[in-house]
Amino acid sequence: MDEYEAQIKALRTNITLLKDNITKLQALVEMHKRNEATLEKVNKELEDELAELRNKYNSLQYTLQDYQTMEANYEKYYEFSRKYFVLQDFLESVLTSDQELALKPHVLAAVSKPEYTANSLADLTKYVADHVEYAQDQPVPLPPSPEELKYGSYHPRTAPNVFLLPSETIEKGYGDCDDINTLLAAMVKVYFKDVYGHDYTVLLVAGFRESGSGHLFVMVPVKGGKLAILDASGSPYWTGKSILDSLFGSDAAEAKPVREAWDEYMDRLGSPFDKVEVYYIDFYGDARKMFEGNPSEMLDWLEDYTS
């Protein structure tokens, strides 16, 4: 009997333990359910945040693409605009096929006897001087470079020079010495090409003074140490110009020894240069600086170049 009572007591104890365990397990189940609900809520919030982040990322991607497109287009614009502000880029645009085509009718209208080179050079100079009035460059804002825009280092400033392409100069009918004499040089090149079938060298010379003033004009080097200088800004000028020739309608540029031609032109200008730069221009964007130095050094270089 005692044995059965002991077994019953043990069973009751086990039942009590089981009930306690069940209660604990039920509590754990409830806790896990609450945790699961919390996790589901957090997961939903994270999914919403992820969706929002994806939308923001996609929006930023579109914004980035817009900025990249704007940057690429601005670089194209800046490269295009450089020919109006940067001498080297400008000179490379002077004798493109479009410019040549636009200038041919003017060359034909200017030259009366194309077989006579000396007379034709004078004709071209007079034509440009008659059709283009001298006008100083107006202040124009210089566009910032892409790097200046990107890094915020741009400071507003105006361009020291504003260049017009030859066709633009003849169309507008005004320009400064840079525009006028570049037009003249381009027309001389077109004349040589059309009449003689090949290129003769035509040089653009930029003269600078320490005072800050300067001038651009045309030189046609001739074999045998000679030179003809042309200038259509203001009153037309060519080496060897004489009143007598003009009276008889026989204006002709004369190729003179380099130093004689230079001195004659300097007498006309009345103020010498402290520094000169000589540029070679040719068709299809070929433009390069041939010389840079003082006038005395340039004359030595020209004598070697034309010998």
Residue 177: predicted pLDDT: 96
Q: Is 172 found in the same domain as 292?
A: yes
Structure-model confidence comparison of residues 294 and 68, the more confident one: 294
As a whole number of Å, the CA-based R_g of the chain is 41
* pLDDT at position 247 over 70: no
Cβ atoms of residues 251 and 122 within 8 Å: yes
Q: Is 222 found in the same domain as 126?
A: yes
CA 203 to chain centre: 22
Q: Looking at the domain assignment, is residue 126 inside a domain?
A: yes
Q: Looking at the domain assignment, is residue 88 inside a domain?
A: no
Residue 162: predicted pLDDT: 92
State mean pLDDT over 60-84: 88
Structure-block tokens of residue 226? 């000679």
Q: Is 66 found in the same domain as 115?
A: no
The whole-angstrom separation of Cα 246 and Cα 123 is: 11
**Phi-psi group of 240: left, alpha or beta (phi > 0 → left; psi -120 to 50 → alpha; rest → beta):** left
For 234, the 3-state DSSP assignment is: coil
Structure-model confidence comparison of residues 16 and 291, the more confident one: 291
Q: Binning pLDDT at 50, 70 and 90, where does residue 68 land?
A: confident
Q: Is 132 found in the same domain as 45?
A: no
pLDDT in tens, 188-236: 999 999 998 877 899 999 999 999 999 999 999 999 999 999 999 989 9
Q: Which long-range contacts (CB under 8 A, 24 or more apart) does 97-103 make?
A: 97/283, 97/284, 98/167, 99/165, 99/166, 99/167, 99/186, 100/190, 100/193, 100/283, 102/166, 102/167, 102/170, 103/166, 103/167, 103/170, 103/183, 103/186, 103/187, 103/190
Backbone angles phi, psi at 202, to 5 degrees: -130, 130
Q: Looking at the domain assignment, is residue 86 inside a domain?
A: no
| Segment among 58-72, 112-126, 159-173 with least mean pLDDT | 58-72
DSSP code for 93:
T
Residue finishing a domain among 79, 111, 126: 79
Q: Binning pLDDT at 50, 70 and 90, where does residue 1 land?
A: low
Residue 152: predicted pLDDT: 85
Task: State which residues form the domain around 39.
Answer: 1-79
Q: Looking at the domain assignment, is residue 2 inside a domain?
A: yes
Residue 161 to residues 37, 73, 113, Cα–Cα distance (Å): 74, 24, 36
State mean pLDDT over 122-145: 93
Q: What is the DSSP string of 33-77?
A: HHHHHHHHHHHHHHHHHHHHHHHHHHHHHHHHHHHHHHHHHHHHH
Q: Binning pLDDT at 50, 70 and 90, where does residue 245 land?
A: low
Residue finishing a domain among 46, 79, 112: 79
Residue 90: predicted pLDDT: 93
Q: Is 66 found in the same domain as 99?
A: no
Q: Is 251 found in the same domain as 102?
A: yes
Reported pTM? 0.79
The CA angle 232-210-159, to the nearest 5 degrees, is: 65
For 280, the 3-state DSSP assignment is: strand
Q: Looking at the domain assignment, is residue 90 inside a domain?
A: no
The whole-angstrom separation of Cα 208 and Cα 277 is: 8
Q: Is 28 found in the same domain as 123?
A: no
CATH of the domain at 128: 3.10.620
Q: Looking at the domain assignment, is residue 84 inside a domain?
A: no
State mean pLDDT over 248-262: 90
State mean pLDDT over 5-26: 84
CA dihedral 247, 251, 257, 259 (to 10 degrees): 70
> Of 205, 233, 236, whose CA–CA distance to 305 is shortest?
205
* pLDDT at position 22 over 90: no
* Number of domains observed in the structure of the chain: 2
* pLDDT at position 254 over 90: yes
pLDDT in tens, 25-38: 888 888 888 888 88
* pLDDT at position 160 over 80: yes
Q: Is 108 found in the same domain as 157?
A: yes
Q: Is 129 found in the same domain as 40?
A: no
Q: Binning pLDDT at 50, 70 and 90, where does residue 261 land?
A: very high
Q: Is 189 found in the same domain as 265?
A: yes
Q: Is 218 found in the same domain as 74?
A: no
Residue 244: predicted pLDDT: 66
* pLDDT at position 46 over 90: no
State mean pLDDT over 105-109: 98
End-to-end CA distance of the chain: 144
In the chain, alpha helices (H)? 2-81, 87-92, 97-110, 117-131, 146-151, 166-172, 177-196, 243-247, 258-269, 295-306
Q: Which residues are CB-contacts of 235 (< 8 A; sequence separation ≥ 6)? A: 129
Q: Looking at the domain assignment, is residue 85 inside a domain?
A: no
Residue labelled with tokens 């915020």: 152
Residue 70: predicted pLDDT: 87
Q: Is 69 found in the same domain as 103?
A: no
Q: Looking at the domain assignment, is residue 38 inside a domain?
A: yes
Residue finishing a domain among 44, 79, 114: 79
Structure-model confidence comparison of residues 41 and 5, the more confident one: 41
